[in-house]
């Protein structure tokens, strides 16, 4: 039967395949677009990861381990002839090219620049200790000829116990000599505060008002635990009796009944370096000024190593700087409380500055002059990024594997090539391939001079 509004019977039958064709085309186009977007997304993530972190390959003797994403060799071992570092030619043509890092590197021979500090940690390998009645733990030490001095912590004796034992009679005698009566200490302002730590600005009142001394004071609240108080003692006295223009050490201590002790430091308009850099992210610091800060940090580190002292926590948070850009390395007292995001815990271990630590320190708790040099490289990276967080996208539990696979911090934007070379050498996977602090100082000071001449 013919129905005009339906049209011929053949027209209705032919309309069905057309709909099928349209649906199929739309579904196909949607699938293709989805695949393209997915591929672009994952490729973008991979490119971003490769940009954020540079893979360095490290040569070790006859065997060469190369990163999976690059064939370049930035770090080469010392030659067997003159024990020198050699830079590849591709890295020597920077805009302010200076001499190569080819100064002969000989094992460090400490030359104490001050009276030996009985509480200073010496860069040696410690063997099990024997205790004498009424005295500090005494340890026998071994030093391998021609090798970098190394300190390895263990469950029986950790670095902080070597540096200072708060219950020792010698330490109490030191405190007695430098003690300041509490009524003479006047607090004027809070500089920094954490959950239990406090840093104050204040004065020490002398017999004559014109002799009053402005100081910084570190202390803990009355709610602080015994462990936190002991940590304040240990870390606060780490650099005690070390005097250098780039080292800030404790000069006094004040006790009072029913109150936490005050650790007293000289004050000349200092500000924490990390906070100073963060406050100047608007572009007020020029490259020569940042390099000058790196030079001063190298001077302080070189002095510590020449005095047979390991720092163990070189970072911007453990430095202070004045408005005239006078930098001083300080101890790490209260840093865990004042900068909690810089210290991370893996499993049941105490919180450590893992993102600043050398590969062997993360895995084996080895602290040495070489591990200090690694941390110095991260400090220079902090300077050039104005205190950005290193390895911000990497979990603390993955750092050991991440470094083992060759990943390192990328060269910061506008960072001179020659300055990044210093960082790269500091991050050599093998401690023996890293330069000593004195060699770093010579190189970076020469670069700073060239940079000022160029500008």
Residue carrying the six token digits 């100081």: 215
Structure tokens belonging to residue 425: 């050498």
Contact 244, 296 (CB under 8 A): no
Structure tokens belonging to residue 251: 């000069």
Q: What are phi and psi of 238, to 5 degrees?
A: -60, -45
Alpha helical stretches, state H, 204-353: 226-236, 273-279, 287-306, 335-338
DSSP β-bridge partners for residue 190: 200
Contact 117, 131 (CB under 8 A): no
Cα 51 to Cα 38: distance, rounded to the nearest angstrom: 20
Exposure string over 382-419, b if 16+ CB within 10 A, otherwise e: bbbbbbeebbeebebeebbebbeebbbbebbeebbebb
Cβ partners under 8 Å of residue 148, min gap 6: 107, 108, 368, 369, 370, 431, 432
Structure tokens belonging to residue 315: 């970072």
DSSP β-bridge partners for residue 329: 247, 319
- What is the secondary structure of 162-209 as a DSSP string? HH--TT-HHHHHHHHHHB--GGGEEEEEEEEE-SSEEEEEEEE--SSG
Q: What are phi and psi of 318, to 5 degrees?
A: -105, 30
Q: Enumerate the active-site residues.
A: 313
Cα 58 to Cα 405: distance, rounded to the nearest angstrom: 10
Cα 364 to Cα 154: distance, rounded to the nearest angstrom: 9
Cα 202 to Cα 179: distance, rounded to the nearest angstrom: 16
Cβ partners under 8 Å of residue 204, min gap 6: 180, 184, 185, 186, 212, 213, 215, 252, 264
Query: How many other CB atoms are there within 10 angstroms of residue 378's CB atom?
Result: 24
User: What's the burial of 87, exposed, middle or buried (CB within 10 Å: 0-12/13-18/19+)?
Assistant: middle
Cα 371 to Cα 387: distance, rounded to the nearest angstrom: 20
């Amino acid at each position: 039967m013919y129905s005009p509004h339906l049209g011929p019977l053949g027209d209705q039958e032919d309309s069905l395949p057309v709909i099928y064709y349209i649906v199929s085309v739309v579904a196909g186009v949607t699938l293709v677009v989805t695949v393209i977007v997915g591929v672009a997304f994952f490729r973008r993530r991979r490119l971003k990861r490769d940009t954020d972190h540079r893979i360095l390959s490290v040569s070790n003797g006859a065997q060469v381990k190369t990163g999976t994403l690059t064939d370049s060799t930035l770090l080469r071992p010392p030659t067997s002839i003159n024990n020198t570092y050699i830079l590849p030619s591709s890295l020597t043509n920077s805009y302010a090219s200076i001499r190569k890092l080819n100064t002969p590197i000989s094992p460090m021979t400490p030359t104490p620049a001050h009276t030996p500090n009985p509480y200073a940690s010496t860069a040696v390998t410690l063997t099990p200790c024997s205790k004498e009645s009424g005295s500090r733990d005494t340890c026998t030490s071994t030093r391998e000829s021609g090798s970098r001095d190394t300190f390895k912590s263990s469950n029986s004796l950790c670095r902080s116990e070597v540096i200072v034992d708060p219950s020792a009679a010698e330490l109490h005698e030191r405190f007695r000599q430098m003690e300041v009566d509490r009524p003479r200490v006047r607090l004027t302002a809070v500089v920094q505060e954490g959950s239990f730590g406090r840093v104050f600005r204040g004065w020490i009142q002398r017999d004559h008002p014109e002799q009053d001394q402005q100081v910084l004071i570190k202390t803990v609240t009355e709610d602080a635990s015994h462990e936190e108080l002991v940590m304040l003692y240990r870390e606060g006295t780490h650099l005690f009796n070390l005097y250098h223009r780039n080292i800030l050490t404790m000069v006094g201590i004040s006790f009072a009944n029913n109150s936490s002790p005050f650790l007293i430091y000289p004050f000349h308009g200092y500000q924490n370096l990390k906070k100073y850099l963060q406050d100047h992210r608007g572009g007020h610091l020029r490259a020569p000024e940042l390099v000058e800060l790196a030079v001063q940090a190298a001077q302080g580190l070189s002095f510590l190593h020449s005095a047979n002292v390991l720092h163990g926590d070189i970072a911007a948070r453990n430095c202070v700087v004045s408005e005239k850009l006078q930098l001083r390395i300080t101890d790490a007292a209260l840093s865990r409380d004042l900068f909690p995001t810089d210290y991370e815990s893996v499993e049941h271990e105490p919180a450590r500055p893992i993102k600043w630590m050398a590969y062997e320190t993360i895995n084996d708790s080895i602290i040495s002059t070489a591990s200090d040099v690694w941390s110095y490289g991260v400090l220079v990276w902090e300077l050039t990024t104005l205190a950005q967080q290193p390895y911000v996208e990497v979990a603390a539990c993955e750092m050991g594997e991440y470094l083992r696979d060759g990943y390192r911090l990328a060269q910061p934007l506008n960072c001179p090539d020659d300055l990044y070379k210093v960082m790269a050498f500091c991050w050599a996977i093998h401690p023996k391939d890293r330069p000593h602090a004195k060699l770093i100082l010579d190189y970076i000071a020469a670069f700073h001079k060239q940079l000022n001449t160029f500008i």
